[in-house]
Structure 1
Amino acid sequence: MTSTATSGTTSPEPRGPRSPGRPRSERAEKAIIEATLELLGEHGYAALAIEAIAAKAGVGKTTIYRRWPNKEELVLDALAATSVPLGELPGTSLRDDLIACVEYVRRSRGSRSTRLFPLMMLEGLNNPRLRERYETVVLEPRREVLRGVLRRGIEAGELPPDFDVDLGVALIVGPILYLTKVWNVPDDQLPDDVAARIVDSVLDGIRARR
């Protein structure tokens, strides 16, 4: 990738008549994100090139650089954009909200963002900045939701006041990640109530004693 690719002196691409339906910019952005994720899965982060993304998406490099300043920001945005939405938590109890969070992890295992998680962790071994940014942009928002559930449990007196919230996050999501990522147990072989079993087992050990 040459320095001229990011230069502000490059002339804008000519715009033809807008076709009916989705606005041109939205269509282009979707095509770029799709191409980024596909090529990322095929070649990894280090070998991923803006030129190849542009060619696969059917856009010019300037179209990409108008939206993203570099490859890192594009990849992180693409991964964040394809994450499965958590949805609204029940809010009825600590247990119900924790079960919803574990179900979210289980439900999202087939998403592109989740499938590319091992690749990004591997890339992060040689690129600490990328791993840090990946955790901040893609993973941290999900962790913060679960932290919020645990903090509310502390405030409600359901968890001890000195409970380690970050340890709690690991205790809650660790088992389902182990089952789905390490053991790679297929969904149809997991019990329907696996989320409730995990949460109840953890809560039996960490719940505030009255």
Structure 2
Amino acid sequence: MLERFNEAVQNILAIQDEILLAFWQTFVMVGISTVVGVLLGTVLGIYLFLTGKNQLFANPAVHHVLNASVNFMRAFPFVILMIALIPLTKVIIGKSIGPVAASFVLTVSAVFYFSRLVEQNLREVPRGMIEAAESVGAKPFTIIFKVLLSECRSSMVSSITVLAISVLSYSAAAGMIGGGGLGDLAIRYGYYRFQTEFIVFIVAVLSILVILMQSIGNSIARKLDKR
């Protein structure tokens, strides 16, 4: 058993350069997709909320289209979405493989996923606070940033944490079809070469990353929670 463990460690150390590259590729995918996903997803989520019934910009037709679009995009399994968007990825990024190309598809998925989380967070803000702001003549821009986003900032941080963890999971799947990163490493060495130690190693690394991300997110959310 000890001999097998030592052999597994040596196999992992033998490709440490590839492991570091895979870490960097995963960081690129998760970083780009989370940041852009949060920015665009927040805008989409706010508009989705504000066009709802009895809201500032209530518009049933627009709300129905946005709601249906979000539901449609969220229903796509990520791997299928990545394959479906290959032509568009080639047009926009110039290629369909690599971490940057994978980041484009991850971002598309993240935007629609996060927009729903934003809408749900905004629904938690008491309607009375919005009405109070309107009664004193607050402009929509002020209501959005000073009331809505301010009141749900703790929930927003929790949602960003959930998004980042989900993107990390999707990035591993992206490795199956040329995205690179830790998922690609696990497939090439763990699956194709039957070296189980690589799968165990990658799973352990991803688990540690998830625990760290969740812990940091929870800590920030608690500090921002005014309740």
Q: Same fold (TM over 0.5)?
A: no
- When normalised by structure 2's length, the TM-score is 0.29
Give the number of the structure whose residues are more often helix, by fraction.
2
TM-score by length of 1: 0.31
Q: Which has the higher contact order (CA 8 A, sep 6+)?
A: 2
